[in-house]
């Protein structure tokens, strides 16, 4: 702690008036705004992964809990001084790791205001504004994604939770058809419920299945083709009840499962079709990509993230369920002090695993309203175009691209496994861009994902140049 901060804490301890506290609040907010603006100014040009020096400086946080209250502005200043340099510049234009959106200005600014409101979006009586925005967003998203009218939407923390929420609803609905009330009786002794997933289902699908009692390992696994798409002709001959989990956007290749064929298979059975589209679902907004999502609307539920391609801040995911009232049946909780059951109203506390929850909808609404339909189509199109551009430049320069670039994901390899590893190490050492590793069909690869609204064509060209320059340095070009 700095000397002036220690003196400030002493003053606080001696007592502060409420008008003084309000002044202090304003000062802290202005400090935060200044720090945020400075951060945004420097982030495009700094190393993407923090320097060793910045990481070492994090030891400043290893301080004992202060005995006395302090000035929030001082705390903010300290946080910015030590914390900001140690962030990963994932909100900059040169981050291509995992599948990570930036924060769109509409989202970021709305987040500031929404935090100031500090609404609990669980019930309309706690936040009429959140409920009203929710109704607007539900209508827009259902229309944008071409989903059946009447589909209900709820906001959760991310795609993992969105998948888990949909699985809980599927489980309850499928077993209710067999006279079994899971919410009342649990799963012990329940009729058998089969689960079918593709070989390339995201790792968190199994986590979500485990969470809702359906088991990570008791799944029927359908083999995938060379791009990671489920081979529908290998779907097992199960009568049901059965939950089948398809995927929009394989996490390495961006490939889409054949929804029409999977829906045909489900149509003849006691089945529930769910689509995990953590990032890929947003391809549905772009008419030029309709072939990828053909049959998507035939599913019973869908999960996606808003913190990836929609570029809102963490953490924000969407679960969508075709059957009105089904979310509520799985997540309703009553108490004497809560308003009486009011089916039909948006009550997120009764439609999600959380009860109290922040108003995630504010940022989603702000981005959708700011971009509009054309802006969203543009965002999806640009991101895909940048991925294709990078893939084209790398291939022309002698690196190998291992996937069909149908969306925003590019798998890059050098002339052999050792040189691919050397290239990844060089990228991390260099710091101008960042992407992560994976293994594809047994071969190491760089997993390069374009997901941020901030990445322009110029940034994509620069990233390709950096990769090729480093590839030449480590002799990765065949």
Contact flag: residue 254 with ligand PLP (CB under 6 A): no
Separation between Cα atoms, residue 424 and residue 474, nearest integer Å: 10
Contact flag: residue 249 with ligand PLP (CB under 6 A): yes
- The per-residue b/e assignment along 137-165, b for 16 or more CB within 10 angstroms, e otherwise, is bbebbbebbebeeebbbbbbbbbbbbbbb
Pick between residue 31 and residue 276 the one whose CB is nearest to ligand PLP.
Answer: 276
Site string for ligand PLP, 257-276 (x = CB under 6 A): -------------------x
**Least distance (Å) from ligand PLP to the CB of residue 462?**
25
Contact flag: residue 406 with ligand PLP (CB under 6 A): no
**Least distance (Å) from ligand PLP to the CB of residue 376?**
19
**Least distance (Å) from ligand PLP to the CB of residue 445?**
16
Separation between Cα atoms, residue 43 and residue 39, nearest integer Å: 6
**Least distance (Å) from ligand PLP to the CB of residue 384?**
16
Phi, psi (rounded to 5 degrees) for 2: -75, 160
Contact flag: residue 198 with ligand PLP (CB under 6 A): no
Q: Single out the residue of 119, 204, 313, 357 in contact with ligand PLP (rule: CB under 6 A).
A: 204
Using CB atoms, what's the residue nearest to ligand PLP? 158
**Least distance (Å) from ligand PLP to the CB of residue 234?**
20
**Least distance (Å) from ligand PLP to the CB of residue 289?**
17
CA neighbor of 174 nearest in space, from 220, 205, 201, 212: 212
Pick between residue 76 and residue 201 the one whose CB is nearest to ligand PLP.
Answer: 201
Longest Cα separation, the chain: 75
Separation between Cα atoms, residue 476 and residue 421, nearest integer Å: 9
Separation between Cα atoms, residue 15 and residue 11, nearest integer Å: 7
**Least distance (Å) from ligand PLP to the CB of residue 281?**
9
Is-contact 222 271, C-beta < 8 A?
Answer: no
Pick between residue 162 and residue 470 the one whose CB is nearest to ligand PLP.
Answer: 162
Handedness of CA 113, 119, 121, 124 (dihedral sign): negative
Handedness of CA 300, 247, 172, 195 (dihedral sign): positive
Pick between residue 32 and residue 411 the one whose CB is nearest to ligand PLP.
Answer: 411
Pick between residue 182 and residue 402 the one whose CB is nearest to ligand PLP.
Answer: 402
Site string for ligand PLP, 158-177 (x = CB under 6 A): xxx-----------------
Interface with ligand PLP in residues 46-105 (CB under 6 A): 99
Is-contact 170 243, C-beta < 8 A?
Answer: yes
Separation between Cα atoms, residue 231 and residue 258, nearest integer Å: 8
Pick between residue 12 and residue 104 the one whose CB is nearest to ligand PLP.
Answer: 104
Pick between residue 99 and residue 380 the one whose CB is nearest to ligand PLP.
Answer: 99
Contact flag: residue 305 with ligand PLP (CB under 6 A): yes
Distance, C-alpha 105 to centroid of its chain:
17
- Stretch touching ligand PLP by CB under 6 A, among 247-255, 289-297, 389-397, 462-470: 247-255
Structure tokens, 6:
């220690």
Burial class (CB in 10 A: 0-12, 13-18, 19+), 22: exposed
Q: Single out the residue of 70, 92, 258, 317 in contact with ligand PLP (rule: CB under 6 A).
A: 317
Pick between residue 311 and residue 419 the one whose CB is nearest to ligand PLP.
Answer: 311
Separation between Cα atoms, residue 339 and residue 359, nearest integer Å: 19
Separation between Cα atoms, residue 6 and residue 223, nearest integer Å: 63
Contact flag: residue 151 with ligand PLP (CB under 6 A): no
Separation between Cα atoms, residue 4 and residue 252, nearest integer Å: 50
Q: Tell me the number of residues near ligand PLP by CB under 6 A.
A: 14
**Least distance (Å) from ligand PLP to the CB of residue 363?**
15
Q: Which residues contact 459 (CB under 8 A, 6 or more apart)?
A: 93, 94, 386
Q: Single out the residue of 202, 289, 322, 358 in contact with ligand PLP (rule: CB under 6 A).
A: 202
CA neighbor of 131 nearest in space, from 368, 361, 372, 366: 361
Pick between residue 245 and residue 464 the one whose CB is nearest to ligand PLP.
Answer: 245
Q: Single out the residue of 111, 182, 235, 251 in contact with ligand PLP (rule: CB under 6 A).
A: 251
- Stretch touching ligand PLP by CB under 6 A, among 75-83, 245-253, 321-329, 389-397: 245-253
Structure tokens, 92:
């900059």
Is-contact 256 404, C-beta < 8 A?
Answer: no
The residues binding ligand PLP (CB under 6 A) are 99, 158-160, 202, 204, 247, 249, 251, 276, 278-279, 305, 317
């Amino acid at each position: 702690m700095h000397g002036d901060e220690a003196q400030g804490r002493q003053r606080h301890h001696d007592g502060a008036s409420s008008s003084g506290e309000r002044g202090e609040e304003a000062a802290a907010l202005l400090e935060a705004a200044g720090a945020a603006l400075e951060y945004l100014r420097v982030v495009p040009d700094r190393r993407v992964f923090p320097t060793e020096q910045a990481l070492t400086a994090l030891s400043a946080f290893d301080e004992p809990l202060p005995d006395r209250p302090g000035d929030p502005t001082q705390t903010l200043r300290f946080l910015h001084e030590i914390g900001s340099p140690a962030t990963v510049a994932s909100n900059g234009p040169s981050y291509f790791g995992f599948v990570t959106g930036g924060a769109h200005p509409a989202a970021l600014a709305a987040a500031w205001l929404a935090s100031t409101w500090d609404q609990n979006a669980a019930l309309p009586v706690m936040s009429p504004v959140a409920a009203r925005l929710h109704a607007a967003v539900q209508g827009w998203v259902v229309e944008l994604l071409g989903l059946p009218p009447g589909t209900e939407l709820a906001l959760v923390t991310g795609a993992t939770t969105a998948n888990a929420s949909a699985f809980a609803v599927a489980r309850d609905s499928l077993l209710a058809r067999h006279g079994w009330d899971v919410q009342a009786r649990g799963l012990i002794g329940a009729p058998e419920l089969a689960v079918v997933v593709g070989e390339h289902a995201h790792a968190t699908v199994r986590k979500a299945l485990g969470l809702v009692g359906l088991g990570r390992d008791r799944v029927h696994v359908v083999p995938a083709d060379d791009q990671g798409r489920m081979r529908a002709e290998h779907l097992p001959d199960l009568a049901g009840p059965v939950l089948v989990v398809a995927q929009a956007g394989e996490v390495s290749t961006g490939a889409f499962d054949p929804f029409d064929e999977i829906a045909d298979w489900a149509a003849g059975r006691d089945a529930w079709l769910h689509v995990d589209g953590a990032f890929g679902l947003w391809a549905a907004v772009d008419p030029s990509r309709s072939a990828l999502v053909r049959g998507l609307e035939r599913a019973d539920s869908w999960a996606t993230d808003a913190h990836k391609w929609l570029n809102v801040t963490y953490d924000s995911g969407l679960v969508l369920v075709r059957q009105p009232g089904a979310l509520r049946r799985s997540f309703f909780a009553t108490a004497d002090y809560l308003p009486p059951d009011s089916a039909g109203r948006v009550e997120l506390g009764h439609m999600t695993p959380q009860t109290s929850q922040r108003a995630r909808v504010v940022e989603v609404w702000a981005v959708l309203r700011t971009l509009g339909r054309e802006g969203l189509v543009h965002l999806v199109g640009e991101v895909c175009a940048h991925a294709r551009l990078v893939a084209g430049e790398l291939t022309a320069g002698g690196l190998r691209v291992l996937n069909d670039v149908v969306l925003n994901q590019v798998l890059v390899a050098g002339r052999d496994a050792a040189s691919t590893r050397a290239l990844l190490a060089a990228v991390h050492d260099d710091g101008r861009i960042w992407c992560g590793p994976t293994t594809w069909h047994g071969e190491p690869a760089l997993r390069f994902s374009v997901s941020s609204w901030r990445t322009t064509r110029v940034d994509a060209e620069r990233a390709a140049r950096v990769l090729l320059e480093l590839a030449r340095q480590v002799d990765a070009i065949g």
